[in-house]
Amino acid sequence: MLAASIFSADFANLGRDSNAALNAGAALLHVDIMDGHFVPNLSMGPLVCAAVRRVCPEAFLDIHLMVTDPKDFIPAFIKAGANSVTFHVETVKDPKELAKFARDLGASVGLASNPETPVLAIEPFLNDFDLHLVMSVHPGFSGQGFIESSLAKTKWIRERVGSRARIEMDGGVDPNNGARCVAAGADVLVSASALFGKPNVALAAKALLDSFSTTSRVD
Among 38, 56, 64, 113, which residue sits at the site for Zn ion (rule: CB under 5 A)?
A: 64
Answer for the pair 176, 208: CB distance below 8 angstroms, yes or no. no
Name residues contacting Zn ion, limited to 89-108 (CB under 5 A).
none
Using alpha carbons, list the distances in angstroms from residue 204 to 26, 175, 199, 210: 11, 9, 8, 10
Q: Does 168 bind Zn ion (CB under 5 A)?
A: no
Phi and psi of 4, rounded to 5°?
-85, 115
Torsion on CA atoms 141, 146, 147, 153, rounded to nearest 10 = 100
Residues 178-207: x where in contact with ligand DX5 by CB under 6 A, - otherwise, as a string: ------------xxxxx-------------
Question: In this complex, which beta carbon is closest to ligand DX5, that of residue 8 or of residue 108?
Answer: 8
Answer for the pair 151, 181: CB distance below 8 angstroms, yes or no. yes
The one-letter amino acid at 77: F
- The Cα 52–Cα 62 span in angstroms is 12
Single out the catalytic residue among 32, 35, 62, 174: 32
Segment contacting ligand DX5 (CB under 6 A): 53-61, 78-86, 99-107, 165-173?
A: 165-173
Instruction: Provide the binding-site residues for ligand DX5, judged by CB under 6 A.
Output: 5, 7-8, 30, 32, 64, 66, 137, 139-140, 142-144, 170-173, 190-194
Catalytically annotated residues: 32, 170
